[in-house]
């Protein structure tokens, strides 16, 4: 006779889950099944995975989402099923907004802008006082709120726009007629725009396009009071985001 098994699930955060089976009869065949929690499809279909003999672990690869799992334990024609248990399966990539910020930072570092070391490309919650910072530097910050595009996306994905601000700061020379600092600043501003504009954001798989909005080339207050080139470029990063529970 088969005994009723118990299961526990570990999300490995790499697109796989490990299902641990305990309490089954020695020599029993334990078959794993799963069903995705899908509020749109509301399906009752169970997917059959691999099996093992006796207690132990079963590894399964699945898309991001929440799933119900159970194990059917069979011995000598008798079958007992574990209680369905819900667990998340994730790929460890993190939330989309954070990945957008990280991808923008990484792309800016790869540009190797003149005089700008990687350590001076900083992700911040908001642009902050630069009194103790070496220049030039770049701040990468969340800007305003995400936007939802009604009717955008696909049958299973929604179109969401994530706004990311790039604030570029560079010291200037107010008295120079041949202002190399200005030329370097304007060149960097163009390179930043070119690398992001009207294309997908590298490193964010859900990204479908990036548009740019320019702010003043030079903030007059920063220039006259601090002799700083301060300018901003807003990236509107459009993604097709999976719908449902994740």
Q: Cα(2)–Cα(102) distance, rounded to whole angstroms? A: 51
| Residue 227 confidence (pLDDT) | 72
Using the 3D structure, point to which of 39, 55, 89 is the last residue of a domain: 89
The packing angle between helices 180-196 and 96-111, to 10°, is 130
Domain tally, the chain: 2
- Residues 41, 105 within the same domain: no
- Residues 237, 119 within the same domain: yes
- Residues 61, 78 within the same domain: yes
- Residues 111, 53 within the same domain: no
With respect to residue 84, please indicate whether it lies within any of the assigned structural domains: yes
Kindly report the pTM of this predicted structure. Answer: 0.70
Q: Cα(129)–Cα(168) distance, rounded to whole angstroms? A: 13
Cβ distance 24 to 3 under 8 Å? Answer: yes
Percentage of the chain beyond pLDDT 70 is 89
With respect to residue 1, please indicate whether it lies within any of the assigned structural domains: no
Cβ distance 202 to 107 under 8 Å? Answer: yes
- Residues 182, 148 within the same domain: yes
With respect to residue 134, please indicate whether it lies within any of the assigned structural domains: yes
- Residues 70, 113 within the same domain: no
With respect to residue 181, please indicate whether it lies within any of the assigned structural domains: yes
- Residues 148, 67 within the same domain: no
Query: What confidence tens digit (pLDDT) does each residue in 166-182 have?
Result: 988 877 655 444 567 77
Q: 47 lies in which domain range?
A: 6-89
- Residues 167, 69 within the same domain: no
CATH number for the domain harbouring residue 81 = 2.60.40.10
DSSP for 77-131, please give it.
TEEEEPPPEEEEE--S---HHHHHHHHHHHHHHHH--TT--GGGEEE-SS----T
Query: What confidence tens digit (pLDDT) does each residue in 2-40 have?
Result: 999 999 999 998 999 999 999 999 999 999 999 987 655
Query: What confidence tens digit (pLDDT) does each residue in 187-214 have?
Result: 888 999 999 999 999 989 889 999 999 9
CATH number for the domain harbouring residue 215 = 3.30.2000.30
Using the 3D structure, point to which of 89, 121, 149 is the last residue of a domain: 89
Q: Cα(51)–Cα(29) distance, rounded to whole angstroms? A: 7
- Residues 188, 72 within the same domain: no
- Residues 193, 153 within the same domain: yes
Using the 3D structure, point to which of 89, 119, 152 is the last residue of a domain: 89
- Residues 56, 123 within the same domain: no
Query: What confidence tens digit (pLDDT) does each residue in 37-65 have?
Result: 765 555 678 999 999 999 999 999 998 78
| Residue 82 confidence (pLDDT) | 97
Q: Cα(86)–Cα(236) distance, rounded to whole angstroms? A: 36
Find the helix or strand (DSSP H, E) in which 48 lies. strand 47-53
- Residues 114, 36 within the same domain: no
């Amino acid at each position: 006779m088969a005994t009723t098994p118990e299961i526990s699930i570990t999300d490995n955060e790499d697109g796989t889950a490990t299902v641990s089976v305990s309490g089954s009869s020695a020599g029993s065949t334990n078959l794993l099944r799963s069903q995705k929690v899908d509020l749109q499809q509301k399906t009752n279909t169970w997917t059959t995975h691999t099996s093992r003999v006796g207690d132990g672990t079963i590894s399964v690869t699945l898309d991001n989402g929440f799933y119900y799992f159970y194990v059917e334990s069979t011995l000598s024609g008798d079958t007992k099923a574990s209680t369905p248990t819900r667990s998340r399966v994730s790929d460890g990539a993190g939330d989309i907004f954070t990945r957008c910020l990280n991808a923008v930072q990484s792309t800016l570092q790869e540009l190797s802008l003149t005089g700008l070391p990687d350590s001076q490309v900083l992700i911040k919650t908001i642009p902050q006082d630069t009194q103790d910072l070496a220049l030039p530097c770049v701040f990468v910050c969340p800007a305003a709120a995400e936007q939802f595009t009604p009717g955008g996306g696909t049958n299973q994905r929604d179109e969401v726009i994530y706004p990311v601000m790039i604030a570029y700061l560079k010291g200037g020379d107010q008295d120079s007629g041949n202002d190399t600092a200005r030329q370097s600043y304007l060149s960097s501003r163009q390179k930043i725009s070119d690398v992001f504009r009207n294309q997908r954001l590298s490193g964010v798989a859900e990204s479908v396009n990036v548009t740019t909005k320019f702010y003043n080339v030079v903030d007059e207050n920063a220039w006259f009071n601090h002799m700083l080139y301060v300018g901003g470029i807003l990236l509107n990063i459009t993604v097709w985001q999976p719908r449902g529970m994740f």
